[in-house]
């Protein structure tokens, strides 16, 4: 275990082996590992223990989505043969189970309590892990004042200066609030505000059909909230193929969500602080709602960090400039996660940690060429890995596409969850799998099997012929690849 008191080289500056600015996924993982290995480590965190994902992003959203899915299932439970015997089992003529189940509602207080309990449990686990690792976890805001040196305004009012032999910047992103006329004068929620669920909106307007917009629209749709989603692109989820986005849109519409595409919002107005919100698109369409959610991307947290003093440059888009080894333009300073322009996923930030773990131990490691999958937790779910069909064609591959409705998968039939499709893109010359998009129950789990096949360089025929358990959603991979012959 490291000497956490660290060596003081001058009266003002504490010298440590590793200084981590921002305790996101990459930062906290590296801080704990290096401290356990005996390095002196200071990690500075200005806000919540454990970073964005566990407090205000992945974990609370997925917890709420799980509750909403249960509600959705209960409301549709009569179709599965579920009835309510305690409400008149001996008088079946006087009740209508379908109607009663449909009337199931969410209890907002209990919902919030469940979310807070899941998040709280993970935060508590992090507090223990941080302490056990031996790192010096400092609550406060860090700002660079010299190369590899920060000044920390600590939460208890003190000021500390710390210099790291090596430094990692892992300050993440915050919701982007574009300068749309009228927006500043209108009450709006970001994803963080929505998670506190102060109330269920009468009608939610969502600006942006990226991952956040789609997941929140699906969540609110399942909770019975009328939703209008306005997205500037031709289809939601800009990165996906047209057919994939269309299927996700169909899933939203099945939940009652109105999806407006080609709808770049150019003005927002609200007659009173609590009055209806009206948004207007560039092509003159208008939508009215009771609440507004802004889901228009995320901004890297670099303002006020003093990066000039550290010699750390930014890219044109405002992210910390890094090379394939996550090295910034300043000697000994690395950056990782969202702020470094890594794809904005927790598992990508975690993978940055693994690259740094190896580099700091003088082993070869790089971010070049890695394939990062993602899951969009809408209902039905979308799992994605590798190239889209459009990207594969644009890259000049000799493309073959295998596509089968999720309804063809026996497990989907038993689950009564038949919406979606399996789509796998292969290279006809090399037989390698280039990418896949799967829409259906547990798609985020099934996509991992495709990812592993890709990592192993497996020819698609081997996955087609693998004896996959029956009946599982994974078996859909046999079925979809069978369609290639
Ligand atoms: C609503 C929502 C849902 C999401 N769902 C998913 C999902 O399901 N799956 C997924 O993979 N990804 C999801 N993401 C993305 C994921 O949350 C991010 O990619 C991930 O959290 C980025 O982690 P990070 O390591 O970059 O740093 P972060 O976890 O963002 O941590 C950065 C930390 O730095 C701190 N900090 C900033 N400046 C300073 C400073 N000057 N001094 C001290 N500390 C500072 C911040 O307080 C913060 O805690 C979601 C994002 C959102 C917004
Ligand atoms: N399940 C997950 O892994 C998950 C979940 C949530 C968020 N995230 C991460 O968070 C990041 C941020 O998500 P996001 O959805 O906020 O951003 P995003 O950039 O993915 O989507 C925002 C969309 O808004 C559209 N847009 C921009 N201006 C507009 C306007 N004026 N009117 C209408 N539409 C407009 C853009 O075309 C863009 O596609 C994502 O990149 C994702 O990686 C991941």
User: Residue 461: which CATH number?
Assistant: 3.30.390.30
What residues are paired with 404 via a beta bridge?
A: 422
Q: Are residues 93 and 209 in the same domain?
A: no
Q: Are residues 70 and 128 in the same domain?
A: yes
Q: Are residues 168 and 43 in the same domain?
A: yes
The number of the ligand 2 atom at minimal distance from the alpha carbon of 211 is 15
Assign residue 278 the CATH number of its domain: 3.50.50.60
Q: Are residues 38 and 148 in the same domain?
A: yes
Q: Are residues 236 and 257 in the same domain?
A: yes
Q: Would 112 be classed as within a structural domain?
A: yes
Could you give the count of Cα atoms lying within 13 Å of 90 in the half-sphere of its Cβ?
0
Q: Are residues 307 and 279 in the same domain?
A: no
Distance between CA 298 and CA 48 in Å, rounded? 18
Contact predicate 335/24, CB 8 Å: no
Distance between CA 29 and CA 142 in Å, rounded? 19
Regarding the beta carbon of 63 and ligand 1, being less than 6 Å apart is answered no
Q: How far is the CA of 346 from the centre of ligand 1 (A)?
A: 7
How many CB atoms within 10 Å of residue 124? Answer: 12
Q: Would 120 be classed as within a structural domain?
A: yes
Residue where a domain terminates, one of 312, 344, 372: 372
Q: What's the pTM? A: 0.96
Q: What does the pLDDT look like over 33-47, one tens digit per residue?
A: 999 999 999 999 999
* Mean confidence (pLDDT) of the chain: 95
Q: Are residues 228 and 268 in the same domain?
A: yes
Q: Would 7 be classed as within a structural domain?
A: no
Q: Would 4 be classed as within a structural domain?
A: no
Per the structure, the complete domain to which residue 417 belongs is given by 380-482
> Which-ligand-closest: CA of 443?
2
Q: Would 2 be classed as within a structural domain?
A: no
Q: Are residues 33 and 162 in the same domain?
A: yes
Distances (CA, A) of 165 to 26, 42, 354, 441: 18, 11, 19, 48
Residue where a domain terminates, one of 330, 356, 372: 372
Q: Would 446 be classed as within a structural domain?
A: yes
Residue where a domain terminates, one of 255, 278, 296: 296
Q: What does the pLDDT look like over 404-438, one tens digit per residue?
A: 999 999 999 999 999 999 999 999 999 999 999 99
This model of the complex carries an ipTM of 0.98
Q: Are residues 151 and 274 in the same domain?
A: no
Q: What does the pLDDT look like over 50-76, one tens digit per residue?
A: 999 999 999 999 999 999 999 999 999
Distance between CA 283 and CA 301 in Å, rounded? 33
Q: Are residues 207 and 349 in the same domain?
A: no
Q: Are residues 236 and 159 in the same domain?
A: no
Q: Nearest C-alpha to atom 4 of ligand 2 is from which residue?
A: 211
Between 215 and 274, the more confident residue is 215
The number of the ligand 1 atom at minimal distance from the alpha carbon of 142 is 42
Q: Would 1 be classed as within a structural domain?
A: no
Q: Are residues 195 and 117 in the same domain?
A: no
Say yes or no to pLDDT of 6 above 80: no
In a mutational test of the pocket of ligand 2, which residue from 252, 297, 345 has the highest number of ligand atoms less than 8 Å from its CB? 297
> Which-ligand-closest: CA of 345?
1
Number of domains in the chain: 3
Regarding the beta carbon of 264 and ligand 2, being less than 6 Å apart is answered yes
């Amino acid at each position: 275990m490291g000497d956490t008191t660290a060596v003081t080289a001058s009266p003002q500056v504490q010298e440590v082996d590793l200084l981590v600015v921002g305790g996101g996924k990459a930062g906290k993982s590296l801080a704990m590992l290096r401290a356990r290995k005996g390095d002196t480590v200071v990690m500075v965190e200005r806000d919540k223990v454990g970073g964005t994902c566990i407090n205000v992003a992945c974990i609370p959203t997925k917890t709420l989505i799980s509750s909403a899915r249960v509600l959705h299932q209960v409301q549709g439970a009569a179709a599965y043969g579920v009835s309510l015997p305690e409400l008149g089992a001996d008088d079946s003529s006087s009740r209508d189970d379908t109607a009663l189940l449909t009337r199931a509602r969410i209890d907002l207080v209990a919902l919030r309590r469940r979310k807070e309990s899941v998040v709280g449990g993970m935060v508590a686990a992090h507090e223990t892990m941080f302490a056990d690792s031996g790192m010096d976890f400092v609550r406060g805001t860090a700002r660079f004042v010299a190369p590899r040196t920060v000044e920390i305004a600590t939460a208890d009012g003190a000021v500390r200066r710390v210099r790291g032999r090596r430094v990692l910047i892992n300050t993440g992103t915050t919701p982007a609030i574009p300068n749309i006329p009228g927006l500043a004068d209108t009450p709006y929620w970001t994803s963080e505000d929505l998670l506190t669920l102060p109330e269920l909106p009468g009608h939610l307007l969502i600006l942006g059909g990226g991952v956040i917009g789609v997941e929140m629209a699906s969540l609110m749709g399942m909770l019975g909230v009328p939703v209008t989603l306005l997205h500037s692109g031709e289809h939601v989820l800009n990165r996906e193929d047209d057919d994939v986005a269309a299927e996700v849109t169909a899933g939203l519409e099945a939940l009652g969500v109105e999806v407006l595409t080609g709808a770049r919002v150019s003005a927002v107005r609200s007659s009173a602080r609590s009055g209806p919100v009206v948004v207007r698109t560039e092509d003159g369409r208008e939508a009215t709602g009771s609440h507004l959610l802004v889901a228009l991307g995320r901004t890297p947290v670099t303002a006020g960090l003093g990066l000039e003093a550290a010699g750390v440059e930014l890219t044109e888009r405002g992210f910390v400039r890094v090379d394939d080894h996550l090295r910034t333009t300043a000697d000994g300073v690395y950056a990782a996660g969202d702020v470094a322009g890594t794809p904005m996923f927790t598992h990508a930030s975690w993978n940055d940690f693994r690259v740094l773990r190896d580099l700091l131990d003088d082993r070869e490691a790089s971010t070049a060429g890695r394939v990062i999958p993602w899951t969009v937790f809408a209902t039905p779910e979308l799992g994605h890995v590798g190239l889209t069909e459009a990207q594969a064609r644009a890259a000049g591959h000799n493309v073959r596409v295998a596509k089968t409705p999720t309804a063809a998968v026996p497990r989907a039939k038993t689950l009564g969850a038949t919406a979606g499709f399996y789509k796998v893109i292969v290279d006809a010359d090399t037989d390698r799998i280039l990418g896949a998009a799967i829409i259906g129950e547990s798609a985020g789990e099934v996509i991992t099997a495709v990812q592993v096949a890709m990592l192993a360089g497996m020819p698609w025929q081997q996955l087609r012929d693998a004896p996959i358990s029956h009946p599982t959603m994974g078996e859909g991979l046999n079925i979809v690849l069978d369609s290639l012959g």
